[in-house]
Amino acid sequence: MSPAEPPRLPQPRGPLSRAVVASLEDRPATAGAAGRTADSDPYGDDLQLALYVLYELHYRGFAGVDETREWDPELLRLRRTLEERFLEALRADTPRGGGVEEVFDALLVEPVDHTDSVSGFLQRDGELWQMREYAALRSLYHLKEADPHAWVIPRLTGRAKAAMVAVEYDEFGAGRAERVHARLFAELMADLRLDTAYGHYLDAAPAEALATTNVMSLFGLHRALRGALVGHFACVEVTSSPGSRRLAAAMRRLGAGAAAEHFYAEHVEADAVHEQLVRREVIAGLLEDEPHLAADVAFGAQATTLLEDRLGGALLGAWRRGDSALRLPLAVAA
């Protein structure tokens, strides 16, 4: 598959995703779907897949789907209903009242025990098949790394915009195509003998993995949530470097290959610098211009942590039982 070729539509997982996929296949099916949203699990497979497919229309789209469906009013109405359900759950499940400094000071404290972290598990005890599963799931984001965060750039001004563009410039390879982070991740996948096609492992990904990607699009596509997107971005940059160091060590221990190790080694250095830029310039600049967004910045970071913890729990729970964490084995997904 060409890198520019869009993926195929996924298999539905319930009435909501079935309605979305049917509509994109030009079969009338979205009528009444919004009414079923209230009864759906906001973190469940059906709602998260429906949202993922709707969001993907703003990125690469899907094979055989008319590109004009990106702005289909009926699909946008349904998407808004799904988003409200997801956002309501996130707000209900994140702590209230934490200030920006308090939230990020806590993120900067590295725990002594990494038993319950995916990167710690993979560094210490992980097997190659588990690392391959992890990379397959993360490919849903890393093959479009930094794209969701780019939505916020026109919504920032001054210091915040300048620093955000500087960080994104690095993510997109600093002007060199071979250093674009999405390409580096594709090379990691090739070392692990995974299919590098964009969106290839969507059918294999559980809801917890979809939610970690969907939240970026949710925050990014709504100007009203620009503070939350900055909080998400800052949370990722602040926590990335230590986790990347452990994952680079895991790749080295497992003999995964030079490109596989390089992707995470690159993030150890880059994200240590980005952390300072994001906190001192992006967040500080945003709150200097728009201090009323402080609660949204904190919420974005807390929602990110919540969803990453849910994904980590699902992965570690399956692996410690000796089970696959995927909905489909890699051999079937390929």
Q: Is the pTM of this model over 0.85?
A: yes
pLDDT at 273: 72
Better pLDDT: 282 or 31: 282
Q: What percent of the chain has pLDDT over 70?
A: 94
pLDDT tens string 120-169: 999 999 999 999 999 999 999 999 999 999 999 999 999 999 999 999 99
Which residue did the predictor score with more confidence, 252 or 112?
Answer: 252
* Per-residue pLDDT at 151: 97
Give pLDDT, residue 326. 97
Average pLDDT over residues 50-72: 97
- In this structure, of 97-106, 263-272, 294-303, the range with the lowest mean pLDDT score is 263-272
Q: Average pLDDT of 225-236?
A: 96
pLDDT of residue 287: 97
Q: 332 pLDDT band (50/70/90 cuts)?
A: low
Whether 21 has a pLDDT exceeding 70, the answer reads: yes
In this predicted structure, the answer to whether residue 82 has a pLDDT above a threshold of 90 is yes
Q: Give the domain ranges of the chain.
A: 15-93, 100-333
Looking at residue 110, its pLDDT comes to: 74
Q: Is the predicted pLDDT of residue 312 greater than 90, yes or no?
A: yes
Average pLDDT, the chain: 92
Q: Is the pLDDT of residue 2 over 60?
A: no
> What's residue 109's pLDDT?
77
**Residue 65 pLDDT greater than 80, yes or no:** yes
Rounded CA-CA distance 52/59 in Å is: 11
Q: How far apart are CA 116 and CA 26, in angstroms?
A: 45
* pLDDT of 286 over the 80 cut: yes
pLDDT at 329: 85
Can you name the CATH fold of 100-333? Heme Oxygenase; Chain A (1.20.910)
